[in-house]
Chain A
Amino acid sequence: MINKVVNNAEEAIADIPDNATLMLGGFGLCGIPENCISALVKKGVTGLTCISNNAGVDDFGIGLMLQTRQVKKMISSYVGENAEFERQLLSGELEVDLIPQGTLAERIRAGGAGIPAFFTPAGYGTEVAEGKEVREFDGKHYLLESWLRADFALVKAWKGDKAGNLVFKGTARNFNPMMATAGKITIAEVEELVEVGELDPNQIHTSGIFVQRIFEGKNYEKRIEQRTTKIK
Protein backbone atom coordinates (compact mmCIF):
# COMPACT_ATOMS: atom_id res chain seq x y z
CA MET A 1 0.00 0.00 0.00
CA ILE A 2 1.12 3.54 -0.73
CA ASN A 3 0.39 5.57 2.37
CA LYS A 4 -1.06 8.96 1.45
CA VAL A 5 -2.04 10.16 4.89
CA VAL A 6 -1.05 13.62 6.07
CA ASN A 7 -1.89 15.01 9.51
CA ASN A 8 -4.15 17.90 8.69
CA ALA A 9 -5.16 20.57 6.17
CA GLU A 10 -2.19 22.84 6.99
CA GLU A 11 0.25 20.06 6.13
CA ALA A 12 -1.73 19.03 3.05
CA ILE A 13 -1.69 22.49 1.48
CA ALA A 14 1.73 23.64 2.75
CA ASP A 15 3.32 23.66 -0.72
CA ILE A 16 0.51 25.45 -2.60
CA PRO A 17 2.26 28.54 -3.97
CA ASP A 18 0.96 31.99 -4.92
CA ASN A 19 -0.66 32.08 -8.40
CA ALA A 20 -1.56 28.37 -8.34
CA THR A 21 -4.58 27.02 -10.21
CA LEU A 22 -6.90 25.17 -7.85
CA MET A 23 -10.02 23.09 -8.27
CA LEU A 24 -12.40 23.06 -5.30
CA GLY A 25 -15.24 20.54 -5.10
CA GLY A 26 -18.79 21.34 -4.05
CA PHE A 27 -22.17 22.54 -5.26
CA GLY A 28 -23.18 25.61 -3.29
CA LEU A 29 -21.85 24.85 0.20
CA CYS A 30 -22.58 21.12 -0.18
CA GLY A 31 -19.46 18.95 -0.34
CA ILE A 32 -16.88 21.75 -0.15
CA PRO A 33 -13.37 21.18 1.29
CA GLU A 34 -13.96 23.28 4.42
CA ASN A 35 -10.70 22.39 6.17
CA CYS A 36 -8.51 23.14 3.13
CA ILE A 37 -10.24 26.49 2.55
CA SER A 38 -9.61 27.52 6.19
CA ALA A 39 -5.96 26.47 5.86
CA LEU A 40 -5.54 28.46 2.62
CA VAL A 41 -6.96 31.55 4.31
CA LYS A 42 -4.55 31.06 7.23
CA LYS A 43 -1.57 30.50 4.89
CA GLY A 44 -2.44 33.64 2.93
CA VAL A 45 -1.48 32.50 -0.58
CA THR A 46 -2.59 35.00 -3.20
CA GLY A 47 -3.18 35.31 -6.95
CA LEU A 48 -5.14 32.06 -7.03
CA THR A 49 -7.21 30.87 -9.97
CA CYS A 50 -10.10 28.88 -8.52
CA ILE A 51 -12.15 26.45 -10.57
CA SER A 52 -15.33 25.71 -8.65
CA ASN A 53 -19.00 25.51 -9.63
CA ASN A 54 -19.86 28.31 -7.19
CA ALA A 55 -17.99 30.93 -5.17
CA GLY A 56 -19.44 30.23 -1.73
CA VAL A 57 -21.37 32.85 0.24
CA ASP A 58 -19.99 36.07 1.73
CA ASP A 59 -18.75 34.49 4.96
CA PHE A 60 -18.26 30.82 4.08
CA GLY A 61 -16.66 28.58 1.50
CA ILE A 62 -14.65 30.34 -1.22
CA GLY A 63 -16.26 33.58 0.00
CA LEU A 64 -13.70 33.53 2.84
CA MET A 65 -10.85 33.63 0.28
CA LEU A 66 -12.57 36.46 -1.61
CA GLN A 67 -12.78 38.54 1.58
CA THR A 68 -9.01 38.23 1.99
CA ARG A 69 -8.45 39.02 -1.74
CA GLN A 70 -6.59 35.77 -2.35
CA VAL A 71 -8.45 34.97 -5.57
CA LYS A 72 -7.38 36.52 -8.87
CA LYS A 73 -9.74 34.59 -11.10
CA MET A 74 -12.83 32.40 -10.67
CA ILE A 75 -13.96 29.81 -13.21
CA SER A 76 -17.55 28.90 -12.26
CA SER A 77 -21.05 28.33 -13.58
CA TYR A 78 -23.12 30.21 -10.99
CA VAL A 79 -21.98 32.82 -8.51
CA GLY A 80 -25.28 34.36 -7.48
CA GLU A 81 -25.10 33.78 -3.73
CA ASN A 82 -22.19 36.08 -3.03
CA ALA A 83 -22.46 39.88 -2.81
CA GLU A 84 -18.73 40.41 -2.22
CA PHE A 85 -18.03 38.42 -5.39
CA GLU A 86 -20.38 40.61 -7.40
CA ARG A 87 -18.78 43.76 -5.97
CA GLN A 88 -15.22 42.63 -6.82
CA LEU A 89 -16.32 41.58 -10.28
CA LEU A 90 -18.11 44.82 -11.16
CA SER A 91 -15.18 46.87 -9.80
CA GLY A 92 -12.71 44.88 -11.92
CA GLU A 93 -10.73 43.47 -8.96
CA LEU A 94 -11.65 39.92 -9.89
CA GLU A 95 -11.61 38.13 -13.24
CA VAL A 96 -14.37 35.64 -13.88
CA ASP A 97 -15.03 33.04 -16.52
CA LEU A 98 -18.65 31.83 -16.45
CA ILE A 99 -19.18 28.43 -18.04
CA PRO A 100 -22.32 26.32 -18.51
CA GLN A 101 -22.43 23.84 -15.65
CA GLY A 102 -22.40 20.70 -17.77
CA THR A 103 -19.55 22.07 -19.87
CA LEU A 104 -17.60 22.85 -16.70
CA ALA A 105 -18.15 19.32 -15.38
CA GLU A 106 -17.17 17.75 -18.70
CA ARG A 107 -14.09 19.96 -19.18
CA ILE A 108 -12.84 18.79 -15.78
CA ARG A 109 -13.72 15.18 -16.54
CA ALA A 110 -11.88 15.50 -19.87
CA GLY A 111 -8.85 16.99 -18.12
CA GLY A 112 -8.61 14.02 -15.82
CA ALA A 113 -9.27 11.51 -18.60
CA GLY A 114 -6.65 12.76 -21.07
CA ILE A 115 -9.16 14.15 -23.58
CA PRO A 116 -7.94 17.61 -24.71
CA ALA A 117 -11.22 18.75 -26.27
CA PHE A 118 -14.78 17.72 -27.10
CA PHE A 119 -17.92 19.08 -28.75
CA THR A 120 -21.01 20.09 -26.76
CA PRO A 121 -24.30 21.76 -27.78
CA ALA A 122 -24.46 23.98 -24.66
CA GLY A 123 -24.02 27.65 -25.47
CA TYR A 124 -24.32 27.42 -29.25
CA GLY A 125 -25.69 30.72 -30.58
CA THR A 126 -24.94 32.56 -27.30
CA GLU A 127 -22.06 34.73 -26.14
CA VAL A 128 -20.45 31.59 -24.69
CA ALA A 129 -19.76 30.55 -28.30
CA GLU A 130 -17.69 33.64 -29.14
CA GLY A 131 -14.30 32.63 -30.55
CA LYS A 132 -15.05 28.91 -30.43
CA GLU A 133 -15.06 26.44 -33.29
CA VAL A 134 -18.55 25.32 -34.30
CA ARG A 135 -19.16 22.03 -36.03
CA GLU A 136 -22.33 20.35 -37.22
CA PHE A 137 -23.08 16.70 -36.44
CA ASP A 138 -26.32 15.12 -37.70
CA GLY A 139 -27.83 18.53 -38.35
CA LYS A 140 -27.14 20.02 -34.92
CA HIS A 141 -24.48 22.57 -33.96
CA TYR A 142 -21.83 22.00 -31.32
CA LEU A 143 -19.02 24.04 -29.74
CA LEU A 144 -15.46 22.85 -29.31
CA GLU A 145 -14.52 23.04 -25.63
CA SER A 146 -11.12 22.24 -24.13
CA TRP A 147 -10.11 20.35 -21.02
CA LEU A 148 -9.41 21.89 -17.63
CA ARG A 149 -6.65 20.76 -15.32
CA ALA A 150 -5.27 22.17 -12.08
CA ASP A 151 -2.07 22.30 -10.05
CA PHE A 152 -4.02 21.16 -7.01
CA ALA A 153 -7.51 19.67 -6.70
CA LEU A 154 -9.11 20.00 -3.25
CA VAL A 155 -11.95 17.55 -2.76
CA LYS A 156 -14.18 16.52 0.11
CA ALA A 157 -15.53 13.01 0.66
CA TRP A 158 -17.56 11.30 3.34
CA LYS A 159 -15.22 8.36 3.93
CA GLY A 160 -11.78 7.54 2.67
CA ASP A 161 -9.05 5.01 3.36
CA LYS A 162 -5.32 5.45 3.74
CA ALA A 163 -4.77 4.41 0.10
CA GLY A 164 -6.89 7.36 -1.05
CA ASN A 165 -10.07 5.52 -2.03
CA LEU A 166 -13.11 7.75 -1.57
CA VAL A 167 -16.83 7.36 -0.90
CA PHE A 168 -19.16 10.36 -1.19
CA LYS A 169 -22.52 10.89 0.47
CA GLY A 170 -25.75 12.29 -0.98
CA THR A 171 -25.44 15.25 -3.32
CA ALA A 172 -22.10 16.16 -1.74
CA ARG A 173 -20.53 14.12 -4.56
CA ASN A 174 -21.20 16.71 -7.34
CA PHE A 175 -17.89 17.98 -8.85
CA ASN A 176 -15.61 16.15 -6.42
CA PRO A 177 -15.02 12.91 -8.39
CA MET A 178 -14.03 14.65 -11.64
CA MET A 179 -11.85 17.19 -9.85
CA ALA A 180 -10.03 14.37 -8.06
CA THR A 181 -8.93 13.10 -11.48
CA ALA A 182 -7.87 16.49 -12.86
CA GLY A 183 -5.41 17.75 -10.24
CA LYS A 184 -1.65 17.24 -10.59
CA ILE A 185 -1.82 16.89 -6.83
CA THR A 186 -5.22 15.90 -5.43
CA ILE A 187 -5.85 16.49 -1.76
CA ALA A 188 -8.84 14.71 -0.26
CA GLU A 189 -10.32 15.67 3.10
CA VAL A 190 -12.75 13.16 4.56
CA GLU A 191 -15.10 13.04 7.51
CA GLU A 192 -13.91 9.57 8.44
CA LEU A 193 -10.51 8.11 7.55
CA VAL A 194 -10.35 4.32 7.84
CA GLU A 195 -7.74 1.58 7.44
CA VAL A 196 -7.33 -0.06 4.04
CA GLY A 197 -9.65 -3.02 3.70
CA GLU A 198 -12.45 -1.41 5.67
CA LEU A 199 -14.20 0.04 2.61
CA ASP A 200 -15.96 -2.36 0.23
CA PRO A 201 -14.15 -2.13 -3.15
CA ASN A 202 -17.56 -2.42 -4.86
CA GLN A 203 -18.70 0.81 -3.25
CA ILE A 204 -15.69 3.06 -4.01
CA HIS A 205 -16.63 6.17 -6.04
CA THR A 206 -13.10 7.53 -6.60
CA SER A 207 -10.17 5.14 -6.84
CA GLY A 208 -7.10 5.92 -4.77
CA ILE A 209 -4.93 6.29 -7.87
CA PHE A 210 -6.34 9.81 -8.28
CA VAL A 211 -5.56 10.94 -4.73
CA GLN A 212 -2.07 11.98 -3.60
CA ARG A 213 -2.84 13.20 -0.06
CA ILE A 214 -5.64 12.39 2.36
CA PHE A 215 -6.55 13.47 5.87
CA GLU A 216 -9.45 13.32 8.29
CA GLY A 217 -10.94 16.79 8.55
CA LYS A 218 -12.36 18.24 11.72
CA ASN A 219 -15.14 20.55 12.94
CA TYR A 220 -17.24 20.28 9.79
CA GLU A 221 -19.82 23.04 9.84
CA LYS A 222 -21.73 21.86 6.71
CA ARG A 223 -23.67 25.06 6.49
CA ILE A 224 -27.08 24.90 4.76
CA GLU A 225 -27.98 27.72 2.34
CA GLN A 226 -31.74 27.11 2.09
CA ARG A 227 -33.00 25.06 5.02
CA THR A 228 -36.39 23.97 3.70
CA THR A 229 -38.72 21.64 5.56
CA LYS A 230 -42.13 20.14 5.02
CA ILE A 231 -44.95 22.63 5.50
CA LYS A 232 -46.94 21.44 8.52
Chain B
Amino acid sequence: MSLDKIGIAKRIAQEVQDGTYINLGIGIPTLVANFIPDNINVVLQSENGLLGIGPFPEEEEVDADLINAGKQTVTTMAGSSLFSSAESFAMIRGGHVDLTILGAMEVSENGDIANWKIPGKMVKGMGGAMDLVASAENIIVAMQHCSRSGDSKLLKECTLPITGIRCVKKIVTDLAVMDVLPEGGFKLIERAPGVSVEEIEAATEGKLIIEGEIPEMQID
Protein backbone atom coordinates (compact mmCIF):
# COMPACT_ATOMS: atom_id res chain seq x y z
CA MET B 1 0.00 0.00 0.00
CA SER B 2 1.49 3.31 -0.99
CA LEU B 3 1.24 6.09 1.59
CA ASP B 4 -1.29 8.90 1.46
CA LYS B 5 -0.30 12.50 2.22
CA ILE B 6 -0.86 11.96 5.94
CA GLY B 7 1.42 8.92 5.86
CA ILE B 8 4.20 10.89 4.15
CA ALA B 9 3.83 13.67 6.73
CA LYS B 10 3.94 11.16 9.60
CA ARG B 11 7.11 9.56 8.25
CA ILE B 12 8.84 12.93 7.81
CA ALA B 13 7.85 13.89 11.36
CA GLN B 14 10.12 11.04 12.55
CA GLU B 15 13.09 12.91 11.05
CA VAL B 16 12.49 16.01 13.15
CA GLN B 17 15.03 16.48 15.93
CA ASP B 18 14.58 18.10 19.30
CA GLY B 19 15.68 21.72 19.69
CA THR B 20 15.63 22.69 16.02
CA TYR B 21 14.25 25.56 13.95
CA ILE B 22 12.27 24.38 10.93
CA ASN B 23 10.75 25.94 7.82
CA LEU B 24 7.78 24.03 6.40
CA GLY B 25 6.67 24.56 2.82
CA ILE B 26 3.09 24.63 1.59
CA GLY B 27 1.11 21.36 1.20
CA ILE B 28 2.28 18.06 2.74
CA PRO B 29 5.15 19.81 4.63
CA THR B 30 2.61 21.94 6.53
CA LEU B 31 0.92 18.70 7.71
CA VAL B 32 4.18 17.49 9.29
CA ALA B 33 3.64 19.88 12.22
CA ASN B 34 0.61 17.82 13.30
CA PHE B 35 2.69 14.67 13.85
CA ILE B 36 5.76 15.92 15.71
CA PRO B 37 5.79 14.02 19.05
CA ASP B 38 5.09 16.02 22.22
CA ASN B 39 8.55 15.31 23.65
CA ILE B 40 10.24 16.93 20.63
CA ASN B 41 10.49 20.70 20.97
CA VAL B 42 10.86 22.58 17.72
CA VAL B 43 10.19 26.12 16.54
CA LEU B 44 8.54 26.68 13.15
CA GLN B 45 9.64 29.59 10.98
CA SER B 46 7.32 31.32 8.53
CA GLU B 47 9.14 33.24 5.78
CA ASN B 48 6.68 36.16 5.96
CA GLY B 49 8.04 37.15 9.34
CA LEU B 50 7.07 34.85 12.22
CA LEU B 51 9.22 32.53 14.30
CA GLY B 52 7.13 30.27 16.52
CA ILE B 53 4.00 29.47 14.51
CA GLY B 54 1.16 28.42 16.82
CA PRO B 55 -1.93 26.33 15.98
CA PHE B 56 -4.70 27.56 13.71
CA PRO B 57 -6.90 30.04 15.60
CA GLU B 58 -10.35 29.56 17.10
CA GLU B 59 -13.01 31.34 15.01
CA GLU B 60 -13.06 34.32 17.42
CA GLU B 61 -9.23 34.60 17.45
CA VAL B 62 -8.83 34.97 13.66
CA ASP B 63 -6.53 37.94 12.92
CA ALA B 64 -6.03 39.17 9.33
CA ASP B 65 -2.62 40.51 10.43
CA LEU B 66 -1.32 37.08 11.40
CA ILE B 67 -0.83 34.60 8.57
CA ASN B 68 1.65 31.95 7.48
CA ALA B 69 3.48 31.71 4.14
CA GLY B 70 0.47 29.87 2.66
CA LYS B 71 -1.67 32.92 3.61
CA GLN B 72 -3.57 30.84 6.20
CA THR B 73 -4.56 32.49 9.46
CA VAL B 74 -2.39 31.27 12.35
CA THR B 75 -1.56 32.16 15.95
CA THR B 76 1.66 32.92 17.78
CA MET B 77 2.88 30.79 20.67
CA ALA B 78 4.70 31.66 23.88
CA GLY B 79 8.20 32.76 22.86
CA SER B 80 7.26 33.79 19.30
CA SER B 81 8.84 36.75 17.54
CA LEU B 82 7.82 38.88 14.56
CA PHE B 83 10.12 40.54 12.03
CA SER B 84 10.45 41.87 8.49
CA SER B 85 10.95 39.82 5.32
CA ALA B 86 14.60 40.96 5.14
CA GLU B 87 15.28 39.64 8.64
CA SER B 88 13.36 36.46 7.87
CA PHE B 89 15.62 35.69 4.92
CA ALA B 90 18.67 36.61 6.98
CA MET B 91 17.60 33.69 9.20
CA ILE B 92 17.23 31.47 6.14
CA ARG B 93 20.30 32.45 4.09
CA GLY B 94 22.41 32.90 7.21
CA GLY B 95 22.01 29.22 8.03
CA HIS B 96 20.06 29.77 11.26
CA VAL B 97 17.18 27.53 10.18
CA ASP B 98 18.18 23.88 10.77
CA LEU B 99 15.76 22.02 8.53
CA THR B 100 13.67 22.86 5.48
CA ILE B 101 10.86 20.54 4.40
CA LEU B 102 9.31 21.29 1.02
CA GLY B 103 7.43 19.81 -1.89
CA ALA B 104 8.84 19.17 -5.37
CA MET B 105 7.70 18.46 -8.90
CA GLU B 106 11.00 16.72 -9.74
CA VAL B 107 14.25 15.77 -7.97
CA SER B 108 17.37 14.59 -9.77
CA GLU B 109 19.81 11.93 -8.57
CA ASN B 110 22.40 14.59 -7.72
CA GLY B 111 19.93 16.48 -5.50
CA ASP B 112 18.70 19.18 -7.90
CA ILE B 113 15.10 20.21 -7.24
CA ALA B 114 12.44 21.67 -9.56
CA ASN B 115 9.29 23.07 -7.97
CA TRP B 116 8.53 26.55 -9.25
CA LYS B 117 7.65 26.67 -12.90
CA ILE B 118 6.11 24.70 -15.78
CA PRO B 119 7.04 26.65 -18.94
CA GLY B 120 3.99 27.91 -20.83
CA LYS B 121 1.62 26.51 -18.21
CA MET B 122 2.23 27.60 -14.68
CA VAL B 123 3.57 31.06 -13.96
CA LYS B 124 3.41 31.53 -10.23
CA GLY B 125 6.92 32.40 -9.18
CA MET B 126 9.43 30.86 -6.82
CA GLY B 127 8.47 32.75 -3.68
CA GLY B 128 11.05 31.90 -1.02
CA ALA B 129 11.93 28.44 -2.37
CA MET B 130 15.17 29.44 -4.13
CA ASP B 131 16.51 31.20 -1.03
CA LEU B 132 15.59 28.20 1.13
CA VAL B 133 17.17 25.52 -1.04
CA ALA B 134 20.31 27.57 -1.66
CA SER B 135 20.97 27.95 2.05
CA ALA B 136 19.49 25.20 4.23
CA GLU B 137 21.89 22.68 5.74
CA ASN B 138 19.30 19.94 5.66
CA ILE B 139 16.52 19.68 3.07
CA ILE B 140 13.86 16.97 3.09
CA VAL B 141 11.50 16.73 0.14
CA ALA B 142 7.93 15.45 0.45
CA MET B 143 6.50 14.33 -2.87
CA GLN B 144 4.64 11.70 -4.87
CA HIS B 145 7.04 9.21 -6.46
CA CYS B 146 5.29 9.46 -9.86
CA SER B 147 3.12 11.98 -11.66
CA ARG B 148 -0.60 11.35 -12.21
CA SER B 149 0.24 9.97 -15.64
CA GLY B 150 2.66 7.51 -14.01
CA ASP B 151 5.96 9.15 -14.97
CA SER B 152 8.77 9.01 -12.43
CA LYS B 153 9.55 12.29 -10.66
CA LEU B 154 12.89 10.98 -9.39
CA LEU B 155 15.06 11.53 -12.40
CA LYS B 156 18.61 11.42 -13.73
CA GLU B 157 18.21 15.10 -14.56
CA CYS B 158 15.31 17.47 -13.96
CA THR B 159 13.34 18.35 -17.08
CA LEU B 160 11.61 21.39 -15.54
CA PRO B 161 13.40 24.67 -14.67
CA ILE B 162 15.26 23.99 -11.45
CA THR B 163 14.92 25.80 -8.14
CA GLY B 164 18.33 24.87 -6.78
CA ILE B 165 21.23 22.50 -7.44
CA ARG B 166 22.68 19.68 -5.35
CA CYS B 167 20.66 20.55 -2.28
CA VAL B 168 18.15 17.78 -1.46
CA LYS B 169 19.38 15.43 1.28
CA LYS B 170 16.39 13.14 1.82
CA ILE B 171 13.17 12.31 -0.02
CA VAL B 172 10.00 10.78 1.41
CA THR B 173 7.46 9.68 -1.18
CA ASP B 174 4.31 7.59 -1.15
CA LEU B 175 6.54 4.57 -1.92
CA ALA B 176 9.89 5.04 -0.19
CA VAL B 177 12.40 6.93 1.93
CA MET B 178 15.65 7.69 0.13
CA ASP B 179 18.84 9.58 0.90
CA VAL B 180 20.47 11.53 -1.92
CA LEU B 181 24.15 10.58 -1.83
CA PRO B 182 26.79 13.32 -2.20
CA GLU B 183 28.31 11.40 -5.14
CA GLY B 184 24.86 11.05 -6.74
CA GLY B 185 22.09 8.46 -6.58
CA PHE B 186 18.97 7.74 -4.53
CA LYS B 187 19.91 5.34 -1.72
CA LEU B 188 16.85 3.34 -0.72
CA ILE B 189 16.40 3.45 3.05
CA GLU B 190 12.83 2.23 3.66
CA ARG B 191 9.81 0.94 1.73
CA ALA B 192 6.21 1.99 2.31
CA PRO B 193 4.25 -0.82 3.99
CA GLY B 194 3.54 -3.57 1.46
CA VAL B 195 5.49 -1.92 -1.38
CA SER B 196 8.22 -4.08 -2.92
CA VAL B 197 11.74 -3.04 -3.87
CA GLU B 198 10.88 -3.95 -7.47
CA GLU B 199 7.93 -1.54 -7.48
CA ILE B 200 10.19 1.26 -6.23
CA GLU B 201 12.84 0.43 -8.84
CA ALA B 202 10.21 0.52 -11.58
CA ALA B 203 8.99 3.93 -10.39
CA THR B 204 12.47 5.50 -10.19
CA GLU B 205 14.09 6.77 -13.39
CA GLY B 206 17.27 8.01 -11.70
CA LYS B 207 19.93 5.76 -10.21
CA LEU B 208 18.48 3.79 -7.28
CA ILE B 209 21.01 2.26 -4.90
CA ILE B 210 19.85 -0.84 -3.00
CA GLU B 211 22.06 -2.38 -0.34
CA GLY B 212 20.92 -5.37 1.72
CA GLU B 213 17.44 -5.86 3.16
CA ILE B 214 15.26 -2.75 2.88
CA PRO B 215 12.97 -2.47 5.91
CA GLU B 216 9.37 -1.25 5.85
CA MET B 217 8.54 2.16 7.30
CA GLN B 218 7.12 2.03 10.82
CA ILE B 219 4.13 4.34 10.83
CA ASP B 220 1.27 4.22 13.32
Binding site for B on A (CB under 8 A): 27-31, 53, 76-81, 86, 89-90, 96, 98, 100-106, 108-109, 120-128, 158, 168-178, 205, 222-231
Question: Chain B, 114-151, contact with A by CB distance < 8 Å: what is the 0/1 string?
Answer: 00000000011111111100110000000000000000
- Chain B: interface secondary structure? loop
Are B124 and A120 within 8 A (Cβ)? no
- Other-chain residue from A96, A128, A174, A229 in contact with B57 (beta carbon distance below 8 A): A229
- Other-chain residue from A28, A77, A89 in contact with B126 (beta carbon distance below 8 A): A77
> 9 closest Cβ contacts across the A-B interface?
A102-B89, A80-B124, A102-B131, A170-B65, A125-B165, A222-B64, A100-B130, A121-B134, A78-B127
- Other-chain residue from A27, A96, A106 in contact with B86 (beta carbon distance below 8 A): A106
Q: In B41-73, which residues have CB < 8 Å from any A CB?
A: 46-50, 55-59, 62-68, 70-73
Bound together, the chains give a CA A185 to CA B85 distance in angstroms of 21
- Other-chain residue from B84, B112, B126 in contact with A100 (beta carbon distance below 8 A): B126
- For B, the interface residue count at a CB cutoff of 8 angstroms equals 48
B182 at interface by CB-CB < 8 Å: no
- Other-chain residue from A96, A124, A229 in contact with B62 (beta carbon distance below 8 A): A229
Contacts of B59 in A (CB 8 A): 229
Contacts of A86 in B (CB 8 A): 123
Among the 9-residue stretches B12-20, B156-164, B173-181, B194-202, the one with 4 or more Cβ atoms under 8 Å from chain A is: B156-164
CB distance from A125 to the nearest CB of B (A): 4
Are B58 and A230 within 8 A (Cβ)? yes
Bound together, the chains give a CA A80 to CA B92 distance in angstroms of 22
- Other-chain residue from B62, B125, B131 in contact with A76 (beta carbon distance below 8 A): B125
Are A100 and B128 within 8 A (Cβ)? yes
Q: Can you name the residue of chain B whose Cβ is closest to the Cβ of A96? A: B123
Contacts of A101 in B (CB 8 A): 47, 85, 89, 126-128, 131
Contacts of A108 in B (CB 8 A): 86
Are B72 and A79 within 8 A (Cβ)? no
Contacts of B46 in A (CB 8 A): 171
Contacts of A53 in B (CB 8 A): 85
Are A79 and B162 within 8 A (Cβ)? no
CB distance from B53 to the nearest CB of A (A): 10
Bound together, the chains give a CA A118 to CA B69 distance in angstroms of 25
Most-contacted residue by chain A among B62, B85, B124, B162 (CB, 10 A): B85
Q: Can you name the residue of chain A whose Cβ is closest to the Cβ of B89? A: A102
